[in-house]
Structures are given as structure tokens and as C-alpha cells.
Amino acid sequence: MNAPVPAPIPDAVADFKIRQWTRERRTHEVAYSNAARTYQLCRTEWTREAREYAIADMHRARKQLATLPTRLGGAS
């Protein structure tokens, strides 16, 4: 049995959700995505050092994101 494919969300909805984030969260999300992109590019033996730096950057960004609140107010 195949899992259902999630429906893509419109760009306007994604932009609205991102605008609700704090500046600090946006900064850490961008840092994480940049490190993940660097990690994917550094997959050879010659780029081992860059890959290790990318892994450290990803962990640092995720650690910072874990300290931020997930929601700001709202009904519970």
C-alpha cells in the first residue's frame, strides 16, 4: 500500500507562513538550509573537510532552532 502524496501548498501560503516567523527563526532556517545544500554538494573524498563543517553548521542551526518557541500565543 502506497502512502498518499501530500498536496503541494501554494506559494502565497508558504510566503505567509514564513512571514509569521521571527527574524531569529528565519536566520537560523536560512543557515540550516545553506549548510544542508553545502553538505549535499560535498560528497566526495576531496571535500571531506567542507562536509564536516557543513554537518557542524547544520547541528548548530538545529540546536538554535530547538531553543525557540514553536508558537506565539493563540488558542490552546
Domain annotation covers residue 31: yes
Phi, psi of 72 (to 5 degrees): -115, 100
**Residue 8: inside a domain:** no
Kindly state whether residue 15 falls inside one of the protein's structural domains: no
Do residues 32 and 58 touch, judged by C-beta distance below 8 A? yes
Query: Domain count of the chain?
Result: 1
Based on its alpha-carbon atoms, the radius of gyration of the chain, rounded to whole angstroms, reads 16
Distances (CA, A) of 30 to 4, 42, 47, 61, 74: 29, 18, 22, 9, 26
In a domain, 29, yes or no: yes
Residue 29 lies in domain:
23-67
pLDDT higher than 50, residue 1 = yes
9 — phi, psi (to 5°)? -95, 145
In a domain, 59, yes or no: yes
Residue 4 falls within a domain, yes or no?
no
Q: Report the pLDDT value the prediction gives residue 62, as an integer from 0 to 100.
A: 94
Rounded mean pLDDT of 7-24? 87
